[in-house]
Every structure is written in C-alpha cells, then in structure tokens.
C-alpha cells in the first residue's frame, strides 16, 4: 500500500509539471491556453491562433481581426503568414 501511495503522489506531481508551458523565449505560463491568450505573442502568431480558433480575442481590435478572418474562411480563402 505504501508503494501505491508513493506512485500516486509521483503521478500527480508529474501531471502538474506537464501542465506548465514554456515559450521559445523561456517565458513560463500556467498552461498552453494561457500562452495562446498571452499579450506577449507576436502579431503573426495572434493571427494564426485566432484563425485556428485556439485564441480568444482579447480586445476590440482582435475581435475585428477575428471577424475578418472568419469572413476569409467563409469565402474559402487561406491564411498566409510569413514567419521569417
């Protein structure tokens, strides 16, 4: 029984560690969702995440961008971004 308790405790700690997200610059977020909705993202990533539906618009400008992107999708257009 002691071994099982230790395993469960390890499993819970392991799950907690996995839930943290670290971006390319080394900034830490509590979750991937927090990262995706962060104001730290570059504009091209904001567009990409809004397009994919991963990001919730964070302000009036992003709501306008999301509406434009949704219109593009409805017309069958594709989003093209240059990440260079």
Is 36 inside a domain boundary?
no
pLDDT in tens for each of the 84 residues of the chain?
A: 444 444 444 444 444 445 688 888 899 999 899 999 999 898 999 999 999 999 999 999 999 999 999 999 999 999 887 766
Q: Are residues 84 and 47 in the same domain?
A: yes
Does residue 28 contact residue 22 with C-beta atoms inside 8 Å? Answer: yes
**Can you tell me which residue has the tokens 């390319």?**
24
Residue 13's SS3 state is helix
Range of the domain at 2: 1-30
The answer to whether the predicted template modeling score (pTM) of the entire model surpasses 0.85 is no
18's CB contacts (< 8 A; 6+ apart) are none
Query: How far apart are alpha carbons 35 and 30 in whole angstroms?
Result: 8
Is 18 inside a domain boundary?
yes
């Amino acid at each position: 029984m002691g071994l099982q308790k230790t395993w469960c405790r390890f499993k819970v700690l392991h799950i907690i560690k996995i839930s943290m997200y670290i971006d390319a610059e080394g900034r830490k977020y509590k979750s991937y969702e927090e990262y995706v909705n962060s104001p730290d993202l570059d504009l091209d990533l904001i567009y990409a995440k809004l397009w994919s539906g991963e990001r919730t618009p964070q302000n009036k400008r992003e709501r306008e961008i999301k509406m434009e992107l949704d219109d593009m999708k409805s017309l069958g257009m594709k989003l093209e971004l240059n990440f260079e």
